[in-house]
Amino acid sequence: MNEICEVSGQSSGRTIDVVHASLIRRRRAEKRFRLYGLVSIVLGLCFVAILFASIIARGYTAFQQTSIGLDVYFDPELIDPEGRRDPVTLMEGDYDRLLKNTLSSMFPDVKARQEKGALYRLLSSAASYDLRDQVLANPELIGKIVRVWVPADDDIDMFVKGQLPRTGAEGERRIKDLQVAWIDKLEAEGRIEKSFNTAFFTSGDSREPELAGIWGAVMGSLFTLLVTLSLSLPIGMAAAIYLEEFAPRNRWTDFIEVNINNLAAVPSIVFGLLGLAVFINFFGLPRSSPLVGGLVLSLMTLPVIIIAGRSALKAVPPSVREAALGVGASSMQTVFHHVLPLAVPGMMTGAIIGMARALGESAPLLMIGMVAFIVDIPRGVLEPATVLPVQIYLWADSPERAFVERTSAAIIVLLVFLIFMNGLAVYIRKRFERRW
């Protein structure tokens, strides 16, 4: 550095000396500015990392469910007093009592009423249904003693997974010392097991965390997206084709364009108000149904699809159109035979991204009643349903500790879907990318 100073200093006027004098300061400012940029990016990436880490760390345990192994005596007295193996009688058997008897025989010291209640609460309230289903499927069980695995209560589940404290002031703990002792005993006997939580993927919503699943919400999302896709894709493509290929440049088309750009930026909740006022109150469509949800979401995704479609059409070079027009094709034939096929991958990418956004949308669906507590799995677009993001919202609002875990797990599932869809869009773009 010094050498340069000398060399140039000798040969030239004072400019260069002045420049060199301030150079160190300027280079430092340069470095500082560069550092700000780097820090911003690192911060942004940290947020991504923290978000994912905190959700995965909270959610992965929900993919396992604790069950308790009990040697249940299927007492014919309680479930089949007449011994006819009649399904109607079997349906109404007192399976609850079976479980209580089993637990009492395992822990004969427990006598007090309150303690007994606590003991029975080790098991999920759905455990008796499990027994019933097993008996109905296999009546041979009656009269035998069989080791049966039934789901544990959500608090016990949390405790076994180490998410509830063992020690500390007993009054502040969800799991009391007595229960800890029982669980320890069960664990020592190998009666506590964690297995893959199939119920989470196959059942609908429930008030009991250990029974709640996402299948109902997944089906609701599926129906909603089907309605959205079947409306917004054809309409969006048609609008994009008209605006890009046929529309004259005048005030009317300008107005349409302003509208589309503006709708793309209207808050989603306003679309919910529209859905509530127009589709539900005016047209009388059923509340909470995927049909209304899909209608609202297609109005929301239309601008996305139109904008993406137009840029895909814009990317097709005019030479293609001129070539087709040159051999005497009508402008309609030109567009549908030559331009559109070249633009379809771009349009599809836009459509998938629009669908991914619709899948993650929840605010407008709250407005049209898709927040109801729905246990049944929807089988059509007119049945009440909820969707995955709204299910997440509902669970996030629930006080039970175990729902935190399930909410995070539902988020993981939702994110997996979204990553898949966005990945598909990227793949299509890369695969069909063309440069003219």
Q: Under rule CB under 8 A, which residues in 389-408 are in contact with another protein?
A: 389-390, 392-393, 396-397, 404, 407-408
Task: Establish if 7 lies at the interface with another protein (CB under 8 A).
Answer: yes
Q: Tell me the β-bridge partners of 194.
A: 66
By beta-carbon proximity to another protein, the closer residue of 22 and 195 is 22
Task: Establish if 318 lies at the interface with another protein (CB under 8 A).
Answer: no
Task: Establish if 255 lies at the interface with another protein (CB under 8 A).
Answer: yes
The residue among 416, 276, 405 whose CA lies nearest residue 359 is 416
Q: Are 110 and 116 in contact (CB under 8 A)?
A: yes
Task: Establish if 433 lies at the interface with another protein (CB under 8 A).
Answer: no
DSSP H helices in 242-362? 251-263, 268-274, 290-314, 318-326, 331-333, 340-360
* Least distance to another protein, CB of residue 147, Å: 38
* Least distance to another protein, CB of residue 168, Å: 19
By beta-carbon proximity to another protein, the closer residue of 79 and 365 is 365
Say how far apart CA 86 and CA 188 lie, in whole Å: 39
Binding test (CB under 8 A) with another protein, winner from 181, 238, 375, 416? 238
Q: Tell me the β-bridge partners of 68.
A: 150, 192
Binding test (CB under 8 A) with another protein, winner from 106, 199, 363, 382? 363
Task: Establish if 414 lies at the interface with another protein (CB under 8 A).
Answer: yes
By beta-carbon proximity to another protein, the closer residue of 175 and 365 is 365
Helix (H) or strand (E) holding 409: helix 401-432
By beta-carbon proximity to another protein, the closer residue of 219 and 306 is 306
The helix-helix angle for 290-314 and 340-360 (nearest 10°) equals 140
The helix-helix angle for 401-432 and 388-397 (nearest 10°) equals 160
Task: Establish if 327 lies at the interface with another protein (CB under 8 A).
Answer: no
* Least distance to another protein, CB of residue 134, Å: 32
By beta-carbon proximity to another protein, the closer residue of 68 and 305 is 305
* Least distance to another protein, CB of residue 140, Å: 38
Tokens of 54: 């905190």
* Least distance to another protein, CB of residue 64, Å: 20
Distances (CA, A) of 225 to 55, 334, 415, 416: 25, 32, 16, 16
Task: Establish if 418 lies at the interface with another protein (CB under 8 A).
Answer: yes
Distances (CA, A) of 268 to 291, 362, 365: 17, 9, 9
Task: Establish if 371 lies at the interface with another protein (CB under 8 A).
Answer: yes
Say how far apart CA 56 and CA 60 lie, in whole Å: 6
By beta-carbon proximity to another protein, the closer residue of 107 and 223 is 223
Task: Establish if 415 lies at the interface with another protein (CB under 8 A).
Answer: yes
User: CB-hemisphere CA count at 13 Å for 185?
Assistant: 12
* Least distance to another protein, CB of residue 54, Å: 5
By beta-carbon proximity to another protein, the closer residue of 13 and 318 is 13
Say how far apart CA 387 and CA 371 lie, in whole Å: 8
Binding test (CB under 8 A) with another protein, winner from 78, 164, 270, 424? 270
